[in-house]
Structure formats: structure tokens, C-alpha cells
Structure 1
């Protein structure tokens, strides 16, 4: 029995491109790890909440210190994280080791807490932060970088391997 290509059940969905999947990974990573950052703040592992960076630096309205500020911050960090994933995709996607993602996260931490610190006026200087905050945020950024880096690199290498297998099977069929 021949399948009718016009029927809905016989149509195949087009897969997302590697870049689209990488950007989606960035958004999801930003949402997950900034949510964990909110929990670190609420349970006093960190003096710094994600809203301190993306909202409280430029907006001091009362709602920015509430749960709504946390939710808006989480979404904003997810959007910013798309750019972070795009940079990793463009520069480091071919590097397959997990440690590159961890190093990427550590570099992001240095950029946010040291280089960009003058922009975030409501955040204490690095020398004024307690050790718990430094250790917690460094670990959070390393885990975030590992998530972004390893997910993108794994997806890249998996896609390349599938394409190579398809090319080999096409050549063997001819």
C-alpha cells in the first residue's frame, strides 16, 4: 500500500537548524540558571539577586524588589543569554571538551562582576562581597557556562556526525 504524501500523518516536520537550537539552549539556560540564582539569593547563599543586575541598576520602582521583579529578571536574563549562546556558537562550538564551557562561565563571571561592575551601581564591589556570594556566583556561572557550552558543542558534533553518515549512505546507495 502506497502512502499518500498529502495526508497530515505522512508529512515530516522540518527540524530546527543548529543555530536555532543553540539560541533556544541559550534562552532555556538563562531561565534555568537565573531561577537558581534567585533561590541562592532567597536562601542567603548570595547577596546578589539576578534582579540587581537587569532591573535594579536602572529602575528603582517598588515592584522590582518583589516576585514580579524576579520573574521579569529571569525572562530578561533568558533573552540576554541568547546573545551569550550566539557568541559561544560562533566562536567555540567546535571545541568538544566540557571544560571549555566551564571556562566560558568563569569568564562571563569576571566580565559581569569585575568589568561591568561600574555599570551596576547597586552591586557591591568584588572586594566588598562576602566569600559566600563570590563562591556561589562563581559556581553558578561555571554551571551555566558548562550547560551552554556542552549543549551547543554536543549538538554541533552530533549534527556533523549525522550529516557525515547521511553522505556515506548516499554514496553507498549510488
Structure 2
């Protein structure tokens, strides 16, 4: 059994933890902003990715279309690379759900308290309704937990694999 696992590890190309963190960041950005777009469509929230990215700068017809929403979701995925890098640099060694929860809450506060004055198409924090607060807080927490668990898990797995290789060499 141990030989089979060792052979499998040797066959799989080793990808760096940082590269996996970047993939996780893009995937998380697309997944959770996509769910945010669905929440916007069903009126659970007053803001969408396209609101932040496009409607604040261009007031044209196409910014209200699904094409704008899909493009905005992809842009959020790209911006999420930076978020994943931040988590990787600061919190990768933290295990459990709480680092991701607090990371998501911190991102939410950054976006909705600090960035909304920059984006004129987004109502201020106090102008948003409670449905928007609850929905977006939940989405950001889920995003943070997704990023946090994934990056911490890959970091831990990578280090355990390194330790098992070094222990095998000593035996």
C-alpha cells in the first residue's frame, strides 16, 4: 500500500503550493462572485460584480446585461488572485475554519466600508438594505473559508509530503 502511494506521488507532477493557491483564488473568485450574481438576479442583494466594476464607470445599456455580469465575474476571478496571494503570505499556516471566516469578514469590510465611496453606482453602506448586508456577508465568509481551507490544506499536505520523503530517506 505504501509503495502504491509512493508510486502515485512520483507519477503526479509536483505543483507548487503557490500555484495551487493562485488556482484556488481564481476558482473561488469566479465561484463566489458567480453565486453573488445569481443572488443579485433573485434580488437577495442590491449590488453585483458588474455594479462594482462596470456601472460605476460607464452608464451604458450593456452594463446591465448578462455579458457584463459574466465579464465582471471573470475580472473578480483575476482580482481574487491577489486575495489568494495575501492569504497565502499571511495565513497559510493557520488551520481551521476561523481564519477563513475572519479573512472573509475583513474582505467584506474592506469592500463595503472602504471601497464603496470610490464606486458611485454602489449605494453607501447605510443605504444598503439588510438583505444585501446578510447575503454579501455570507458570500464573503464562504469565500474566505473556501480560500482559507484550500490554501491551508495544500500547504499542510505539501509539508507532510516533504516530511514523508525525508523520513523515507532516513529509514
Take 1:124 and 1:55, find their aligned partners in 2: how far apart are those partners? 15
How many residue pairs get aligned? The number is 162
Offset at 1:12? 4.4
Offset at 1:121? 0.9
Runs of 4+ in 1 over 4 A off after TM superposition: none
Bigger proportion of residues as helix? 2
Q: CA RMSD in A?
A: 1.2
Residues 27-68 of structure 1: CA deviation (Å, up to 9, x unaligned): 000000010000100111001111111111222232111010
TM-score (norm 1): 0.90
Residues 107-134 of structure 1: CA deviation (Å, up to 9, x unaligned): 0000000011111111111111110010
TM-score (norm 2): 0.91
Choose 1 or 2 for highest CA Rg: 1
- Give structure 2 stretches of 5+ with no counterpart: 1-9
Query: Is 1:92 aligned to 2:95, yes or no?
Result: no
Take 1:16 and 1:60, find their aligned partners in 2: how far apart are those partners? 43
- Give structure 1 stretches of 5+ with no counterpart: 1-10
Within 5 Å, give how 1:77-116 maps onto structure 2.
77-116=76-115
- 1:26 matched to which residue of 2? 25
